[in-house]
Amino acid sequence: MLSFLLSFVIVGVYWVAHHSMLHFVRAVDRRLLWLNLLLLPVIVIIPFPSSLLGQHPGDPLAVMIYGVNLVLVNGFGTVLWLYATSKEALVVPGFPRQFRRFTAMLHAAPMVVYGIAIAVAPRNVWVSFVLYALVPSFFVLPNPWLGRRLANVLAGTEQ
């Protein structure tokens, strides 16, 4: 049940991020549609590693497969964001470059945490679980630092 709950929250964070991203996209082209479609398989496969994790919580391989799936989701999502925001014709007018870069870094950062969790899994799966749970916590729980950074970046007062 814990792996299901963790996966549900993680998928929820991805859904909110994707929905939020689309607020800044005013048009799509064929390549953006295909990149968005490529994101879908790595998201819909999440129940499989989640099930593995639930059935074998102490197995480092199950923990690592789960992490690899999360890295792929973040990787494809980051590529989607980078492509969409690299084309002026696709984004809303006046979209600040600082916000594009900050959001790309914010989107890519979980891959580092998930990578560490994957590397740690053979030694301690519980540390990996904590790392997997920290990522959505950063985005779900009230985060004054993130709120200030986003406000400053959108206002153009931070590089």
Tell me the per-residue pLDDT of 105-157, one tens digit each, with 9 for 90 and over: 988 999 999 999 999 999 999 999 999 999 988 887 777 777 777 777 777 66
Residue 65, number of CB atoms within 10 A of its CB: 18
Work out how many domains the chain is built from and give that number.
1
Say what the pTM is: 0.86
**Segments forming the whole domain that contains residue 116:** 2-155
DSSP letter for each residue of 19-62? HHHHTTB----HHHHHHHHHHHHHHHTTHHHHHHHHH-TT-HHH
